[in-house]
Chain A
Amino acid sequence: MTERASSTDRDVEHHQLLAHGCQNDHFTVPGHPRCPACGEPQEKTLDLTKKTGIVKTWTRVAATPPGVREPNTLAIVEFALEVDTVSMLGGTIEQVSLGEQVRPVYIDTLRDADESVRQGANQSWGGFRFEPVSPDE
C-alpha cells in the first residue's frame, strides 16, 4: 500500500473492519477525509471486526460483471454503536434473511481485478463478507 492509500485501503490491508468517526460521534463505513454529517475530520475508529450486525436488506444478483462471482449475494448490514448505528454493504457467504444476525469474515479477493473496468492498482480488492451467526453461539 502506498502512502496515498485511502482509509478504505488501509483498513483492508490490516484485515480490519473499522467504522470511522468524528468528534461528534458520527460514524461511517468506509471512512471519509471529512465527516459527511458535520464536516469535522474523522479522527477515531471503532473496530467492528469481532462484532455482529443485523441484515437490513439483501439481494441475490444473477447477472454480474466480468470477474465477479455469479450469483452474487449482497446485503446491507447494520451495526449498533453506543450512540448510533452504522451500516455497510457486503457480500454474504451464504443465504441470509431480513433481521438475521451476521458476522464479518475477511476475504482476500472479492473479485478478479484483472477483468474489471477499474484498474487493479486503483483500490484494494479484499474486504469483508458476512455469514450468519448460528443460534447456539
Chain B
Amino acid sequence: MDVAVLGASMTPFGTREPWVRELATDAAIACLDDAGVDPSALDHLYLSNMASGEFEGQTGVMNAVAHDIGAVPAYTQRVGQTSASGGAGLYAAWQSIASGASELTLLVGAEKMTQQSTGEAGDVIASLTHPAEYAHGVTLPSFAGLTARTYLERYDAPRESLAHVAVKNHQNARRNPDAQFQKDLDIETAMSSPVVAEPLRLYDYCPLTDGSAALLFCPVSVAREYTDEFVVLSGVGGATDTHVVHERDDPTWMSAVANSGRQAFEMAGCGPADIDVAELHDMVTLLEILQLEAFGFAERGEGWRFAVNGTTALDGSLPVNPSGGLKARGHPLGATGVAQAVEIYRQLLGKVDGRQVDAERGLTCNVGGFGNCVTSAVLEVAE
C-alpha cells in the first residue's frame, strides 16, 4: 500500500519552556489541524524520542499524548533509535500504513534537552556507546574529531571546507523562523571559535535543542478524501553499522547511510541523480559531507567541495539542509528525523517562505550514534 503524508507541523526549535509531554502534544495538535483531521480518527500514534527518562524523568509520553489530544483508544508506541529515533518513527509510520494495520497514523517527535549542561546532555547521548568506549569518556563529538582528522589528512581537504557547511546552514536557518539560530555565520568566526574536539570547533557542531515536529500518514488511495495537498513517502530504508566505532574498516565511510539509502532508492524506484533536495544529518559539519559521499552524490573524498563550490546552497543543483539542518535549525534528538521530513514535505508542496527550492523529490537521512543506525526516506510530489 503506497503511503501519503497528509499534514505536517513543527514547534519552534531552541530553548523552550514546555517539557517533552507538552512539546509533543503541541506538535500533534498542530499537525492534525494542518490536515483538518479529527484525533478520534487516528489508528496509530508513534512518538519518536531518545531519552525523556534520562533527560527529565518522564516516561510513557506516547500514552500521555494519546490521552491529551483525544486519540484514545488509538494504538501507541514510543520509537527509540537514539538520535535517529525520528527517522525510525518515519519507518514505523510507513510500516503501519503499508501493512494495512493502520489507515491513519500520527508520528510525533519530541525532545527536551536544554535544562541540562552540555556535559550532562553529552553524557546521556554518550551512554549509547559500548563499555569499552564509554569508560574512556568518549562523546559523540569526540568521534567526529577523530574521524575529521582522518578525512582531512587522507583527502587533503582544507579545514575551511567544513566551515563552509556551517556557514551555508546558518544562512538557510536565518530564512526559517522555527530554527534555533537566526544569525549569519562567517568563515572567520567559525574557524576561530573554541576547539571542542580537535580539529573541530564549536561552530562545527549542532547545539542542544528543545523542540517537536509531527507528520500525518494515510494510504495514498484515500488521501484525496482528506486533501489535494499531500506528498508520497515513496521509499524508506534502515540499516546498522558497528556499535563499536573503531571496529569499522574505514570510519569515513558511513555504511549504514549507504545501505539505508540503497533500500530507500530501490523502493522509490530512483537514484541519487533524481533527488532535488535533501535534509541530511549534520550533527557535525563533517557528517553532511560523509553522507553526500555515502549516498553517491559525491565521489569518495570529494564531498567537501560541495559546500565550497555552492552545489548544496539553496540556489545550487542539490540544495542540502534548506531548513538550516541540525547545525542551525537545532537538534532535539527524537524530533530531528521528523522535522527533516516536515521540511521536505513543505518544500515539495511549495509551502516554504524565503527558502523555497524547486523540487519534485526529496531525501532525508537521520543518523543514530556516529552512524551506528541510520534511516533514509524518499518523498515525492503526488502524481
Contacts and interface: CB of A to CB of B under 8 A. Distances in A.
A117 B141 CA distance: 17
Contacts of B199: 59
B279 to A, nearest CB: 27
A65 B197 contact: no
A63 interface: yes
Interface of B is mostly: helix
A63 B146 contact: no
A52 interface: no
Q: From A58, A74, A124, name the one whose CB has the most chain B CB atoms within 10 angstroms.
A: A74
B135 A111 contact: yes
Given A9-B131, A64-B119, A66-B123, A91 B136 contact: yes
Given A9-B131, A87-B246, A124-B131, A59 B54 contact: no
Contact of A123 (B134, B141, B153): B134
B130 A110 contact: no
Contacts of A62: 194-197
Given A30-B244, A64-B119, A127 B147 contact: no
B195 A69 contact: no
Contacts of B197: 59-62
Interface in B98-156: 118-120, 122-124, 126-127, 130-139, 141-142, 145-147, 149-150, 153
Contact of A28 (B119, B139, B247): B247
B382 interface: no
Contact of B127 (A36, A98, A118, A126): A118
B317 interface: no
Contact of A36 (B118, B122, B123, B247): B247
Q: Which 3 A-B pairs have the closest CB atoms?
A: A68-B137, A59-B145, A65-B123
27 contacts: A8-B130, A9-B131, A30-B132, A30-B244, A36-B242, A56-B150, A59-B149, A59-B197, A60-B145, A61-B137, A61-B142, A61-B145, A66-B119, A66-B123, A74-B136, A88-B132, A91-B137, A98-B149, A110-B136, A110-B137, A117-B54, A117-B126, A118-B127, A123-B134, A124-B135, A127-B132, A127-B136
